A and B are shown apart, each in its own frame.
Chain A
Amino acid sequence: GEDVEQSLFLSVREGDSSVINCTYTDSSSTYLYWYKQEPGAGLQLLTYIFSNMDMKQDQRLTVLLNKKDKHLSLRIADTQTGDSAIYFCAERAGTNAGKSTFGDGTTLTVKP
């Protein structure tokens, strides 16, 4: 079945770059996502990438996809204290709406 794995914690200094990594097992994963969850809140979609892409950049966010190794990463440039949150990697197979499988999240702590 589908499985998504993430490291649990990452700590960086304000102004540094953060890199959050994710691996997935489902080779039919077509869409991959990064969501952010702040305390007491739901998940916020940050960005997504299709499986036929290698990279996607959106302002301070860069997503890299290595489909051969089933590895996804999220780089946050110039990390700020407001970026402190839990980041979830998720995958979805198929087209249109359908279930997504989420990892257990990486807690990013940004120190001033």
Chain B
Amino acid sequence: DAGVTQSPTHLIKTRGQQVTLRCSPKSGHDTVSWYQQALGQGPQFIFQYYEEEERQRGNFPDRFSGHQFPNYSSELNVNALLLGDSALYLCASSPRRAGFYGYTFGSGTRLTVV
């Protein structure tokens, strides 16, 4: 059983560009959350999707947007990239009705903005 799959694993972008990161949740999970993990820090919550809608959002600007598809997979889009957006972006999935048992994380996408 595949866990959470993220693509690409690494990405280098230039300031001002736009990027799209992709996530396929674990089988049986319908809720996808995105986190940003800067070097040496814990993951910071970006937003969560359930039933194709953004349900919760963390303290991130509108440059960060997302989408969830009918098959529960999700995309994270970041516009007008800044150097400070360089981080590991983690996708986490959980079943909505039993999400209190915790997340299953993907291995992340390492984004470097130059």
Contact = CB atoms under 8 A, between A and B. Distances in A.
Interface in A22-61: 30-31, 33, 35, 40-45, 48, 50
Contacts, number: 70
A45 B99 contact: no
A43 B101 contact: no
Nearest to A47: B102
A97 B106 contact: no
Q: Which of B41, B102, B106 has the largest count of A CB atoms less than 10 A from its CB? A: B102
Contact of A41 (B33, B43, B107): B107
Nearest to B35: A102
Contacts of A41: 107-108
Tell me if B's interface is mostly helix, strand, loop or mixed: mixed
Contact of A45 (B31, B44, B95, B103): B103
Give chain A's interface secondary structure class.
strand
Nearest to B101: A48
Contacts of A95: 100
Contact of B42 (A31, A50, A99, A102): A102
Nearest to A4: B42
Given A4-B42, A33-B102, A102-B42, A97 B107 contact: no
Given A4-B42, A45-B102, A96 B107 contact: no
Interface of A: 4, 30-31, 33, 35, 40-45, 48, 50, 88, 90, 92, 95-105
11 contacts: A35-B102, A42-B107, A43-B43, A44-B105, A90-B42, A96-B97, A96-B99, A97-B99, A102-B43, A103-B42, A104-B40
Leading 10 A-B pairs by shortest Cβ distance: A97-B99, A102-B42, A42-B105, A45-B102, A99-B45, A97-B31, A43-B105, A42-B107, A104-B42, A31-B100
Given A41-B107, A99-B58, A102-B42, 8 more contacts: A35-B102, A42-B4, A42-B105, A43-B92, A48-B100, A98-B56, A99-B33, A101-B45
